[in-house]
Structure 1
Amino acid sequence: MTRTWLITGVSSGFGRQLAEQLLVRGDRVAGTVRRLDVVADLAEHYGDTFRSALLDLTDTARIREVVDSIVAEFGRPEVVVSNAGYGLFGAAEEASDEQVRHQIDTNLLGSIQLIRAVLPHLRAAGGGRILQLSSVGGQTAHPGGSLYHATKWGMEGFVEALATEVAPFGIGVTIVEPGGARTKFGQGGLRFGTPLNAYDGTPAAQVRAFREGVPNSIVFGDPERMAATMIASVDQEPAPLRLVLGTDSWTAITSALESRLADVRPQKDNAATTDHSDAAAHGSDIPWADSH
């Protein structure tokens, strides 16, 4: 079945891998980039089946304009892959205010606004699929990655709620959680705050080693296989809410979930001591309605 895809960030990494595999098999791809020259080879080789569009996710005012333009000129996509993003690393206070804002604007706000822009088109079509690229860092948290984790955890909460909102319209949503992969994420996909001497020798300083590149000794997943699995997930009914890619991701995520349960389970009796005396008779249908 030939499909039309909209993928953000097709210049490198998973976005590029997805675009190449889809174009080879005969699908149509509209891909966003921040520089058109980086995908000139795709445009030349695949002609009318590939369309590139300039888009920087931090320019949220343009996202809907670009999406609408792609739909008008290239056709309505059946599948949307929100892929563009990067990682800002270092201790929380080592990043500048500008770096913090840029990380959130790109990974979180930009991704949210992209999905909001495509939803009217998918609803009009009576369905479709959305794949949101998260990572193992959307379920785990490590020192030196607090700002990156904030954006990935934020997107996972947004998308998990979104999935139930759009299910009545036939729209399936999947959160993709890859572990490490031999992509070019480490070559431009990683940015760092300015090191503070106070963090020398602390756990947060360990990420500084990645300034020089990712060590070859680290075993990573195969980006080609990961992209193929993402593509295959679009044929699954119903859409999987989460797609874990890589043994390292599965191991880290299950460990993190078990650790959180271990923290919470012993608190059952203590949590009940804060219930209102007539909570059973007047409980809200929305459990979090009175939360702050």
Structure 2
Amino acid sequence: MNDRLFPAIGLRLLSVGLFATMNACIKLAEASGAVLGEILFFRQFGAAILVTGVIAAGPGLATVRTKRIGAHVSRCAVGVISMAFTFAALLALPLAEATTIAFTTPIFATVLGALVLGEPTGWRRWSAVALGFSGVLIVMQPGGHAIPLYGAACGITAAVLTAVIFILLRQIGRTERAQTTVWWFSVLSLLPLGVVYLTQAQAHPLKTWLVLIAVGLVGGGAQLAMTASLRRGAVSLVVPFDYTSLLWATAYGWLLFGALPGATTWIGAPIIAASGIYIVWREHRRRRAETIAAISEE
């Protein structure tokens, strides 16, 4: 058991650190003169190169063949829009606040799972959802001008769209390997983002180009590490470690931008995290019960 448990946790922590590093690079890229369209393109261009190389060196590119191109196109469309809102939130908010708002994704996934998929959601999980939203209100302080409304709106929109992606991935994952889904998203997204890049491309000093390249390569590495963690450990095991990203965001925000989270963020973030962890745990319990029931009926 430990032979798989510790590598799964280690890979998840690695992915969290890499994603946090990518987020810091995104803000550094903008500070160096890059605009959102450029950052989005380089994120996917670097990831596409890295993911293609890893698959080619491993199982081989033949493993990315698919008969569900329509599903991958849908996932790509939602993914690109979600990424645009995520990056917009990162550029508009301090790292810690943007990271905290992203913690709401499991909350929205629960709501959408109940409304769209008709998944059973008892009072305990609805209570966790309500608790999570109370944490969001604490962080955002509506009317208190704690954080820019535009940035908060972008962050919430990104979290909702990411929850939609979770639902799409559940459906795609019934027939497709995780690496196949990652590859198609990385490659297909280059088409619309390439068009956007052509309209926004600028000349930059070498430092900016290096930061843009880092956004793509680090982001691609984070995606691969996250995928690998899910192959080795259950979602309920590895997802709670995602909340360590607030520590990374706080450290990068202080070291690179001289910004520390406000008091409301430190109060609201644990509430949102507790809500998300409980939701993941309840989902794990539900799926395990369904599996046991299915086995007993055979």
TM superposition score category, shorter chain reference: under 0.3
Q: Which structure has more RCO (C-alpha within 8 Å, separation ≥ 6)?
A: 2
Give the TM-score normalised by the residue count of structure 2: 0.25
Greater share of residues in strand: 1
Give the TM-score normalised by the residue count of structure 1: 0.26
- Choose 1 or 2 for highest CA Rg: 1
